[in-house]
Amino acid sequence: MSCLLIADHAVGFGGKYGVQKDRQDKSALGWSHKEEVKPHESQTDHAVGFGGKYGVQKDRQDKSALGWAHKEEVKPHESQTDHSQGFGGRYGVQKDRVDKSAAGFGDMEAPLSSYQKTKPVEATSAGMGNLRQRFENMAKTAEEEKRKKAEEERARCQARELQETQEERARCQARELQETQEKSKVRILSLD
Highest mean pLDDT among 24-33, 103-112, 144-153: 144-153
Detail the DSSP E strand segments found in the chain: none
Half-sphere exposure of 118 (CA within 13 A, CB side): 3
Q: Which residues pair with 89 in a beta bridge?
A: 92
Average pLDDT over residues 140-158: 96
**Higher-confidence position of 98 and 127:** 98
Tell me what pLDDT residue 48 has. 66
Percentages helix, strand, coil for the chain (3-state, rounded to 5) are 45, 5, 50
Contact between 121 and 127 (Cβ < 8 Å)? yes
Taking only the tens place, the pLDDT of each residue in 159-190 is: 999 999 999 999 999 999 999 988 888 777 77
In angstroms, rounded to a whole number, what is the distance separating the alpha carbons of residues 86 and 78?
Answer: 9
Question: Which of 3-7, 59-63, 93-97 has the least mean pLDDT?
Answer: 3-7
pLDDT at 89 over 60: no
The pTM (predicted TM-score) of the whole model is 0.28
Domain chopping of the chain, boundaries: 132-191
**Would you state the pLDDT for residue 9?**
63
Residue 66 pLDDT greater than 70, yes or no:
yes
Q: Is 89 helix (H, G, I), strand (E, B) or coil?
A: strand
Q: Is-contact 48 57, C-beta < 8 A? A: yes
Average pLDDT of the chain, as a whole number: 78
